[in-house]
Amino acid sequence: MLTLDDFDFDLPDQLIAQHPSGERTASRLLQVDDFALCDRRFSTLPDLLDAGDLLVFNDTRVIRARLFGHKESGGQIEVLIERIVDARHAVAQIRASKSPRPGSRIVLENAISLVVRGRSGEQGEFFELELEPPMAPEANPEAEPAGGRDLWTLIDAHGRLPLPPYITHPAGADDEARYQTVYARHPGAVAAPTAGLHFDDALLARLAQRGVEVAWLTLHVGAGTFQPVRAHRVAEHRMHAERFAIPAATVTAIARTRARGGKIVAVGTTSLRALEAAAQGGALCAGTAETDIFITPGYRFQVVDRLITNFHLPKSTLLMLVSAFAGLEPIRAAYRHAIAQRYRFFSYGDAMLLTRK
């Protein structure tokens, strides 16, 4: 029986990357094939893939999901949007000295008025919010003027980039550029699919010249990705749900790759989770759905052969996922090696190329 202790390790604080590397492809890349480890640079990735392989990218775009404001009582709050449900409704985490009550009003960035409608989540960790209808300026001087009265527009105009909690500086201009993938298209994520941060246009062109094909899907990473695993026994943990969409063209590309003997390479754990969730019925299916798939050692992978991923937090569900993919002991050995060789960890850190065990 697996417990959190099976996925714990000591990481020196100085190995947590606080800023991106000078260039996207300048990151280090640890190639892991069972217990065989090889230190490389990410720029060498085309040499590690074969013509006819398929890279599957997550093209989600990070929204400005962090906002500050106050309750109607005056207490200060910090809000992290989990997801925008529609033009008027969102689900969010709220940090405050005292949680706002259902029916109460909050004002964010002196521009967005919302009503708290209730709580949701396994532990009630999320708040359901509704955008207030516009009011006359004399009745509500803090309300946003008419025009741009949907949450997507308001949050893009007034929100801030939601860097992960282990990055200690506020988001700046460099983060605005580097905490997005170069191919980000569909807004909705509140955390970047960080394995994709290592790619630039020149590397994508080199991969194409190599004969490596690409395909796309969209999974909007939610704020729940930062939630700790609270159950000591891993099997008792319940994942938060995330939305994903897999185009028919991607399903076709995967079938074509399989037929010619190529490898399916997921760029990031988000791409892997979406693909494996869409294949739970046996055959990989195109379409839009939600998944709370929880991948731990013992899981039988249906779609993905290789995985590009960053280094993950101790006791995290993503560390459990990569341990399921590459093997628990090989991942332990890889992390010991990475710490000894002073790899950079987490979102702005270095990467691994894993082969399915």
| 3 state DSSP class of 70 | strand
pLDDT tens digits, 130-155: 999 865 455 455 544 434 589 999 99
Please compute Rg for the chain using Cα positions: 21
Predicted pLDDT of residue 272? 98
Given this structure, which CATH class describes domain 66-158? mainly beta
* Cβ neighbours, 10 Å, residue 263: 18
What pLDDT score was predicted for residue 144?
45
For the chain, the helix, strand and coil percentages under 3-state DSSP, each to the nearest 5: 25, 30, 45
CB 77 within 8 A of CB 94: yes
Cβ contacts of 259 within 8 Å, gap of 6 or more:
none
Binning pLDDT at 50, 70 and 90, where does residue 240 land? confident
> In the predicted model, what is the mean pLDDT of residues 250-276?
98
Helix (H, G, I), strand (E, B), or coil: what is residue 230? coil
Mean pLDDT rounded to a whole number for the chain: 93
For domain 4-62+172-355, is the CATH number 3.40.1780.10? yes
The C-alpha angle 224, 179, 265, rounded to 5 degrees, equals 75
Which amino acid, one-letter code, is at 122? E
Q: What single letter denotes the amino acid at residue 243?
A: R
- Positions of CATH 2.40.10 in the chain: 66-158
User: Tell me: the pLDDT tens digits for 167-205?
Assistant: 999 999 999 999 999 999 999 999 999 999 999 999 999
Q: Is the pLDDT of residue 123 over 90?
A: no
Q: Is the dihedral of CA 115, 84, 178, 7 positive or negative?
A: positive
Q: At residue 112, does pLDDT exceed 50? A: yes
* Residue limits of CATH 3.40.1780.10 in the chain: 4-62+172-355
What pLDDT does residue 297 have?
97
Confirm whether pTM is higher than 0.75.
yes
